[in-house]
A and B are shown apart, each in its own frame.
Chain A
């Protein structure tokens, strides 16, 4: 294999890597945003449940959870977990939900109760105030943190390699096995991971920081 052929083979893993990262990011968003608002405005028992969820997913290594779902559920019970791509995305999404819940919670705390009171004074319901006043500001305040979370997911999508998903890392390893070249494939993968994470997360960080400054958030 020429270096170009090796690189091309590894590059073909990019769509899978990105698919895992992006899908799990949005799954994490769908979980984390409501959890953050439940944590901020929900009743005590729900707050405790959210806390427990965050604790579990932030302390158990995602690789343990991934293997647990894939071999535990996948081999015995549930059809979808037999699919390694699904399991990897699902588990990373659950974990990202715990992270994003914390990111959003910090953002909500920074925005403060005043915005809520001002919205209620106009006659907005609590839900309307959350949707039209809190969430937009929460997103802006959370953007730099979300950029880091995205980068983390791209990196962690490489764990999918362990349960056999043919993403970038797996492909680099295949090249190593076939060609016995132990340097180039990993070097290429490392370079590609930087390319996939750094520009976007840096952009989000800069955009978020500038916007926050503009709005005084």
Chain B
């Protein structure tokens, strides 16, 4: 059986009076692709950020290859370098070119020489077909191009898992395709991923398991076909109907 790469157990995240994540346990195995979906405000981003230790869980534990990250004294910078993260609103470094964005972590975290980092960064940009745009600043790129650089930035670090938080939802509809294509290729290569996505055709194609999330909880989980044919809960069924209608309209 494949090893679990990243896992949370009984995870809670509470912001003041808002319980964003309540008692969630979830693991992603080597080579596995899990898709998380659910209504806006249900706590998906919060869960993703807790798993990447970008915010501190209120309660519960996160494990990276069995090593507990929620214990005091863990080097979280090292752990974060092993977990790739792609943001919904992209968040490239504004003052750096596409190449500079990809090189920063290689240079400052993995301590590569300039030449080595540049070689690796160009290779990552090639994988997302952004090599010709290496010298452009984020503001000079389209949303889809920016997100491809965002993926290259995460990819170049050679992470053990990549978490993608709605990587296409901030893009114009005509630009989502180019990003989806890249994600499809990553999936084919066996990249371990947790993807938050409502691109249902894509989800169905790549997901090993889909997880329907609502009100901070896992409501229902199963293989993609399960959701397309016979979701058990009312909430999941209603949500699927809405999504499918929306997809048909697009």
Contacts and interface: CB of A to CB of B under 8 A. Distances in A.
B139 A124 contact: no
Contacts of A217: 94-95
A83 to B, nearest CB: 40
A214 B80 CA distance: 31
A52 interface: no
Contacts of A137: 93-95
Interface of A: 111, 114-115, 117-125, 128, 132-133, 136-137, 140, 214-217
B144 interface: no
23 contacts: A111-B94, A114-B91, A115-B91, A118-B87, A119-B93, A119-B104, A121-B54, A122-B80, A122-B104, A122-B153, A123-B157, A124-B77, A124-B105, A124-B109, A125-B77, A133-B95, A137-B93, A137-B94, A140-B95, A215-B95, A215-B139, A217-B94, A217-B95
Interface of B: 52, 54, 77-85, 87, 89, 91-95, 104-105, 108-109, 137-140, 153-154, 157
Given A123-B80, A123-B109, A214-B137, A118 B93 contact: yes
A121 B104 CA distance: 12
Contacts of A115: 91, 93-94
Nearest to A211: B95
B153 to A, nearest CB: 7
Contacts, number: 75
A118 B80 CA distance: 11
Contact of B80 (A121, A140, A216): A121
Contacts of A214: 137, 139-140
Interface residues of chain B: helix, strand, loop or mixed (majority) = mixed
Contacts of B105: 122-124
B95 A128 contact: no
A136 B95 contact: yes
Contacts of B87: 114, 117-118, 121
Given A117-B54, A120-B54, A216-B94, 17 more contacts: A111-B94, A115-B94, A117-B91, A119-B104, A120-B77, A122-B104, A123-B79, A123-B81, A124-B105, A124-B108, A128-B108, A132-B108, A133-B95, A133-B104, A216-B138, A216-B139, A217-B94
A132 B105 CA distance: 10
A59 to B, nearest CB: 34
Of B80, B81, B89, most A-chain CB atoms within 10 Å: B80
Contacts of B104: 119, 122, 124, 132-133
Contact of B85 (A121, A132, A215): A121
Contacts of B92: 118
A137 B105 CA distance: 17
A72 to B, nearest CB: 44
Nearest to B81: A123
Of B85, B89, B93, most A-chain CB atoms within 10 Å: B93
A55 B108 CA distance: 37
